[in-house]
Amino acid sequence: MGTEGSFEEFVKELKLIRSVDFHDNVIRFYGVSEDPTTHRYFMVLQYANGGNLRDFLNKHHEFLNWETRINMASQIASGLKCIHERNIVHRDLHSKNILVHDGKMMITDFGLSKSLDNNEHSVVGGMVGYIEPQCFIDSTYKRDKASDIYSLGVLLWEISSGKPPFNNMAILDIAREVVQGRREAPIEGSPPAYVAIYQMAWDSDPNKRSTINKVREDLERLQSNCDIENLSLAGLSINSQGKDNNFVSSPVSEFGSNNNFAANSGAQNSNVQQSTIPFGVAESMNPNKRATLRDNYIQPINNNNTGQLMSPPNSNEISTKQDSVADLHKQNPTI
């Protein structure tokens, strides 16, 4: 650990994860190790054989039925419920911070998390497509549990689609769309009741978003219904899938206009890498970087096989988090 501030960040994250790691849908913490050469600290975390949710969906989405998708969503909501019950705001929920192990969803990476008892004005950070519009409008906006609910809503849409939100769009363009109240359209064949859950979760008005208890209850109700494909809600207004697989959705808040938004799923890739966040068994405690997992870095931590430790990578194997939008107002204050 290079600085006192870095060590304080390490201790903060350690305390947060230890307060919730008993839950099946939160990553297990096994211990701490220090590299004797670099004196960098590593948290030893539970191994996830399915990688992160982003990669898992990319590989397996076409084989997942709706019962399985809803179960995945329910597990994530269950983990977040535990986090919120401990008065913690995660602040960085996205599909690369959900790990998959034998079909079990586990929330990880508490690097941006804060206790609500110590949650001052937030510095905008995280993956842009999962961040609520208030953070782009006011860089001092204080994120709370409703902020996590917004991110959860985006995650639920991603589970239905198999793709990250606003795929192949530049970061600033995503921020503008979010501020203007535009969201991804429901995927064809989605159960209307499932769509209603994530649309209420990602409402632009934090006061209108569901609580985590309601999200969890609604998903449990879906799981208990055998006729998944025909679930519906009376009076529910659902945006339709556009022609040629275009995403078509309408603004959902006072932030936007009434013009429809269309983002071609085959749009040209330009400045689209929102982040490079790893998955694996250990997380470097350098607060500005994340160590990227490679198979040849994994070695036993002890003879009891209670966990595994990732050796420190070389400098060219370090992937810096690319998705922070703290400077968006400086780059373009009009978004």
Catalytically annotated residues: 92
| Largest separation between any pair of C-alpha atoms in the chain | 63
- What amino acid is encoded at 191 in this protein? P
d(CA 278, CA 256): 34
Q: Return the CA Rg of the chain.
A: 20
Question: Which burial class, exposed, middle or buried, applies to 223 when counting CB atoms under 10 A from its CB (0-12, 13-18, 19+)?
Answer: middle
- Dihedral of alpha carbons 244, 245, 246, 251, sign: positive
How many angstroms separate the Cα of 255 from the Cα of each of 121, 204, 207, 241, 245? 22, 8, 15, 23, 26
Answer positive or negative: Cα dihedral of 204, 207, 213, 217.
Answer: negative
Lookup: tokens for 174: 């995503």
